[in-house]
């Protein structure tokens, strides 16, 4: 039997939860048996897809529970080229779907994340993660879920016979799909996710002065709303480990932000869009460079190369490898699992979601000054989820063997969440440590209704107790 110990190791150094067993079901029958037995013995279970939930809990449950690791349910059940979707099980990784599409539907791509190539599609979507081209939840069409009593339910039109594939996601009547994202009402066994047609694009890298963030965000919000720029914006602070290779040239980039974004379109349209975008941004940025997707980027710096790959739908491990390398560790091997390398610094993160407006630059300034007042130097990425929301991924790194640094980072995250809440700024995802206390304080008629729904779906509270509830 797989040992629970490795499932307790986590890059964030969250206190260890009691995990007695790791279940590794090979099919839905086995999953049903595990769920029914968990109900009979009143022993909670916590499902994970590939468990790369780094920064938010890794493979650990919110409260003590046995793990149901769904990595062996890893079939790509269907790819529909005409209707552009894939139906996948929990264990299907970004790399697995990419490899499949390259052979069977090379014109299509997934909106991949910046996490590693071995992370799941389904686990990320049910945690409502973010892709390189927008919010992953918005790519979701349908789910199949197993309830605590073993019953399988398909959302959308999934239950209806004679359907001609997944082409209308709402079904009839109340739409239940998102009841099962950021949720503990059921175990998700299949997801139908959008695929996109690959198109030519230009990747841009803009270097901004810190004081220019407000004007830049205002202009980008306009360009994204006009559909000149895709939901691709990512702005990184200079100390973000995943871009450290940009500075190997020795050029002085102090006090700058680094903004990446993509302009997509048919090759006859792209030059016109390029001209509008460069004119619009010209006076707002210190530097602006375009990297056409059609060029050979094999000699470009890695942060450029890997972004070109991702916008072609090809995932990679660069964010992890670069972070490790910046701290002097070379990761090797097939599976890159940050949890298992205590020599790489740990990190704590907070993930506020803020309006996509120039005024939000004040919030970014606040995140920096709050952290600096604690003697911490936060790395910050600002990421477009769509044309009106930005995710902020703010984190601090610490030595995993230093108890006082671990506890300082934990206090920073808790206090920052609380301070932001006072200002009406909320996270779009929470880690397993802050989930319960944060949500308890939010108590309102909406969260009470969520609890009532939990009682309806899982009256014995067997599935992932405490997860977003
Ligand atoms: C360097 C770096 C870069 C990252 N970049 C990104 C990024 O670009 N975008 C992003 O969103 N995240 C990112 N992450 C965070 C994280 O790695 C990803 O979100 C990753 O996809 C989550 O791991 P997973 O896919 O294995 O999901 P899992 O860890 O398997 O699942 C996440 C959670 O969802 C729930 N869950 C999983 N499967 C099921 C199921 N079948 N039924 C019910 N509930 C389930 C569980 O509660 C689980 O804890 C990054 C992390 C690092 C360290």
Which DSSP string do the residues of 229-268 spell out, in sequence order? S-S--EEEETT-GGGGGGGGG----TTEEEEEEEEE--TT
Helix, strand or coil for residue 138? helix
How many structural domains compose the chain?
A: 2
Residue 173: inside a domain, yes or no? yes
Tell me, yes or no, whether 428 lies in a domain: no
Q: CATH number, domain at 71?
A: 3.30.465.10
The residues facing 190 across adjacent strands are 144
Q: In angstroms, rounded to a whole number, what is the distance separating the alpha carbons of residues 360 and 336?
A: 35
Give residue 53 CA to ligand 1 midpoint distance, Å.
4
Shared domain check, 224 and 191:
no
**Mean pLDDT by groups of 10 residues along the chain of 469 residues:** 88 96 98 98 98 97 98 98 98 98 98 97 98 96 98 94 84 96 98 97 96 97 97 96 85 86 96 97 96 90 95 95 89 80 94 98 97 97 98 97 98 98 98 96 94 97 96
Does 70 reside within a domain?
yes
> Is the same domain home to 193 and 205?
no
The interface predicted TM-score (ipTM) is: 0.99
Range of the domain at 250: 201-312+317-422
CA atoms of 453 and 33, how far apart (whole Å): 23
Q: Is residue 247 part of a domain?
A: yes
292 and 418 co-located in one domain: yes
Residue 401 sits in the same domain as residue 452: no
pLDDT at 72: 98
Q: Are residues 389 and 457 in the same domain?
A: no
Tokens of 454: 């939990």
> Are residue 174 and residue 226 in the same domain, yes or no?
no
- The predicted pLDDT at position 333 comes to 66
For residues 417 and 442, membership in a common domain is answered with no
Q: Same domain for 172 and 56? A: yes
| Residue 385: per-residue pLDDT | 98
| Contact residues of ligand 1, CB 6 A cut-off | 47-55, 57, 70, 90, 113-115, 119-120, 122-124, 126-127, 129-130, 187-188, 319-320, 323, 338, 464, 467
Contacts with 421 (C-beta within 8 Å, 6 or more apart), sequence order:
438, 441
- Token pair recorded at residue 293: 């997707």
148 inside domain: yes
Ligand 1 atom 43, closest CA:
187
Question: Which residues fall within 8 angstroms of residue 363, CB to CB, at 6 or more apart?
Answer: 352, 354, 392, 423, 425
Residues 366 and 218 in one domain: yes
* Domain match, 146 and 224 both: no
- Based on the domain organization, do 15 and 91 belong to the same domain? yes
On whether both 170 and 214 belong to a single domain, the answer is no
Do 331 and 320 touch, CB atoms closer than 8 A?
yes
Q: For ligand 1, atom 40, which residue shows the shortest CA distance?
A: 188
For ligand 1, atom 46, name the residue with the nearest CA.
48
Distance 189 CA to ligand 1 centre (A): 15
Q: Residue 375 sits in a domain of what CATH number?
A: 3.40.462.10
Q: Which residue from 7, 9, 45, 48 has its CB within 8 A of the most atoms of ligand 1, so it is best to mutate?
A: 48
Residues 183-228: pLDDT tens digits?
999 999 999 999 999 999 999 999 999 999 999 999 999 999 999 9
Of 433, 445, 380, residue with least CA distance to 407:
433
Residue 427 lies in a domain: no
- 221-261 residue pLDDT tens: 999 999 999 999 999 999 999 999 988 776 767 789 999 99
């Amino acid at each position: 039997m797989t040992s629970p110990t490795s499932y307790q190791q986590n890059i964030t150094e969250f206190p260890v939860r009691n995990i007695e067993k790791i279940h590794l079901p090979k099919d839905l029958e086995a999953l049903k048996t595990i769920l029914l037995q968990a109900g009979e013995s009143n022993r909670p279970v916590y499902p994970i897809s590939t468990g790369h939930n780094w920064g938010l809990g890794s493979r650990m449950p919110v409260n003590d529970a046995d793990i149901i690791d769904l990595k062996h349910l890893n079939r790509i059940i269907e790819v529909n080229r005409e209707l552009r979707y894939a139906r996948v099980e929990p264990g299907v990784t970004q790399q697995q779907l990419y490899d499949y599409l390259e052979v069977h539907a090379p014109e299509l791509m997934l909106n991949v994340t910046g996490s590693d190539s071995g992370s799941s599609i389904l686990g990320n979507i049910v945690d409502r993660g973010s892709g390189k081209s927008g919010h992953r939840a918005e790519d979701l069409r349908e789910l199949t879920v197993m309830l605590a009593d073993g019953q399988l339910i398909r959302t959308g039109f999934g239950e209806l016979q004679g359907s001609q594939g997944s082409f209308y996601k709402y079904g009839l009547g109340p739409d239940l799909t998102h009841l099962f994202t950021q949720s503990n009402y059921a175990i998700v066994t299949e997801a139908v996710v959008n695929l996109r047609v690959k198109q030519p694009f230009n990747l841009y890298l803009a270097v901004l002065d810190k004081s220019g963030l407000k004007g830049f965000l205002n202009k980008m919000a306009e360009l994204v709303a006009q559909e000149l720029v895709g939901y691709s914006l990512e702005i990184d602070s200079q100390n973000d480990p995943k871009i450290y290779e940009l500075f190997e040239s020795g050029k002085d980039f102090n006090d700058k932000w680094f903004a990446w974004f993509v302009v997509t379109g048919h090759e006859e349209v792209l030059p016109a869009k390029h001209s509008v975008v460069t004119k619009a941004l010209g006076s707002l940025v210190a530097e602006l460079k375009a990297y056409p997707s059609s060029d050979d980027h094999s000699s470009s710096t890695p942060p450029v190369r890997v972004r070109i790959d991702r916008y072609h739908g090809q995932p990679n491990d660069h964010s992890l490898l670069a972070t490790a390398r910046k701290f002097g560790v070379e990761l090797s091997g097939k599976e890159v699992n940050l949890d298992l390398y205590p020599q790489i610094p740990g990190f704590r993160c907070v993930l506020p979601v803020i309006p996509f407006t120039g005024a939000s630059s004040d919030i970014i300034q606040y995140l920096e000054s709050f952290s600096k007042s604690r003697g911490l130097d936060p790395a910050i990425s600002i990421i477009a989820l769509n044309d009106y929301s930005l995710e902020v991924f703010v984190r601090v790194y610490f030595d995993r063997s230093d108890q006082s640094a671990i506890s300082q980072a934990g206090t920073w995250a808790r206090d920052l969440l609380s301070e932001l809440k006072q200002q009406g700024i909320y996270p779009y995802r929470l880690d397993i440590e802050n989930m319960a206390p944060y949500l308890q304080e939010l108590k309102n008629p909406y969260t009470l209704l969520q609890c009532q729904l939990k009682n309806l779906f899982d009256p014995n509270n067997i599935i992932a107790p405490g997860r977003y509830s």
